[in-house]
Structure 1
Amino acid sequence: MSKVVLITGGSSGIGKSVGEFLTENGFIVYGTSRNPQNYSESKFPILKLDLKSIETIKETIQEIIEKEGGIDVLVNNAGAGITGAIEELPEVEIKANFDTNFFGPINVIKAVLPQMRKQHAGLIINITSIAGYMGLPYRGIYSASKGALELITEAFRMEIKDFNIKMTSIAPGDFATNIAAGRYHAPLLENSPYKKPYGDTLDLMNMHVDSGSNPIMMARAVLKIINTKNPKVHYKVGAFMQKISIVLKRVLPDKVYEKMLMNHYKL
């Protein structure tokens, strides 16, 4: 029997790449989007799901269960970027980012757990970010929301172990996707004390995304994890320097690491 995979945010970027790759490898894949009608030519079905709406989460998961008899793998991929000086970010945008990157994935997990417990089997993969391992300047809220999802993964996997449900996280680095286009950018204000450093950092971030790795790397990582009997707690996928930055944070004194980041962002 082919495994049934649900990928949130499967209409573009990493989610689309993972979905197409798994489909090619014989999996039954469902992706989600807030506007599925825009993706009629997708290589796998795209269903309507809004991470900020528990009703749509439950309805979509129930639709898949009724059609396929269960869900074997959940890839919590949908997310949103946010940039800006924390002082200048509107509270409503900060909360919206956590709704998408943190509370939304938790609600999707809660919705699939009863079925996976009934099956006495399941795998949940949370897509986080290497940015979640460190507080990055002008990406602090994004770092915080993805870092929170990393910690929740650690706690959750211990709580569901007795049900034979596995959970892990994959932290990608910069990949060539359209995430920058959908990111909330705090405006560059003429009278802002952050105007120059934020503007320079924003240009650097966009350049990193444009020259990022091919998202097929993430697709291959997901397939490898699905085929792993006992997945690790965390995985990192990306360029060598991005992955080594996590190691350096563990071994370097805090101020040395902070100085390294500031030099990187020319702050």
Structure 2
Amino acid sequence: MSKVVLITGGSSGIGKSIGEFLHLKGFIVYGTSRNPNRIANSVFPLLALDVRKTDTIMTAIAQVIARSGRIDVVINNAGVGITGPLEEIPTEEIKNNFETNFFGPIEVMKAVLPQMRIQKSGLIINVTSIAGYMGLPYRSIYSASKGALELVTEALRMEVKSFGIQITNIAPGDFATNIASGRYHAPIVSGSAYEKVYGDMLQTMDAHVDSGGDPLEMATAVYVIIQNTNPKIHYKVGAFMQKFSIVLKRILPDKMYEKMLMNHYNL
């Protein structure tokens, strides 16, 4: 029997790549978008869902269950980027980022867990970020929101394991997607103490995304996780040095690691 998969943020970027790959592998795939009517030529159905609005989450999950009778895999992929000096990021944008990257996935998990308990099976894959393993300059809020989701996943795995439900994280590095265009950038303020260094950093971050890996790599990794009956707690997907930076954080003294990051970002 083909597994039923729900992917939040499935209309573009990594989510779309995962959905298309799983569709070709024979899975029954549902994606979500805040405005599915604006998306043309999706190879799998797109349901209306905004992770910041609980009613849309409940409606989308009910639609999947009504159509397919079950949900075997949920991929919490919807997320947004945010950059800027912490001092200059508007508080409402910080809250919006956490609503999307942290509270949104939590609400999706809370909505789908009752169905997975009934089934006595299910897999939730939370898409986090390698940036969530470390505090990155001018990406403090993004690092914090993704790091928080990593920790919630670790705890929730233990809470639901007895129900036959598996939960894991997959942390991508930089991939060539449209995330930079949808990212909130705190404006570069003329005369600000951060004007030059943040302006230079912004160009560097966008260049990293533009030269990032093929999202198909993420899709393949997700497929392998789904096939695994006992998935690991954490997966990392990306360039070698991006993944190795996590290892270095574990073994280097804090200040040495901080200096390495500052040198990398020319700070």
Q: Which amino acid aligns with 2:8?
A: T
Matches within 5 A, 1:81-96: 81-96=81-96
Matches within 5 A, 1:85-234: 85-234=85-234
Gaps of 5+ in 1: none
| TM-score relative to the length of structure 2 | 1.00
Q: Deviation per CA, 1:8-42: give whole Å up to 9, x if none.
A: 00000000000000000000000000010111310
In 1, the alpha carbon distance for the partners of 2:59 and 2:189 equals: 42
**Deviation at residue 205 of structure 1 after TM alignment:** 0.4
Q: Which amino acid aligns with 2:66?
A: E
Q: Which amino acid aligns with 2:234?
A: H
| Partner of residue 50, structure 1 | 50
Gaps of 5+ in 2: none
| Partner of residue 15, structure 1 | 15
Two-structure CA RMSD over aligned residues (Å): 0.4
In 2, the alpha carbon distance for the partners of 1:31 and 1:187 equals: 32
- The 3-state SS of whatever aligns with 1:104 is helix
- The 3-state SS of whatever aligns with 2:214 is coil
In 2, the alpha carbon distance for the partners of 1:64 and 1:40 equals: 20
Identity, % of aligned pairs? 70
| Partner of residue 266, structure 1 | 266
In 2, the alpha carbon distance for the partners of 1:99 and 1:135 equals: 19
Q: Which amino acid aligns with 1:169?
A: N
In 2, the alpha carbon distance for the partners of 1:168 and 1:139 equals: 24
**Deviation at residue 209 of structure 1 after TM alignment:** 0.1
User: Number of paired residues?
Assistant: 267
Segment drifting more, 222-231 vs 35-44 = 35-44
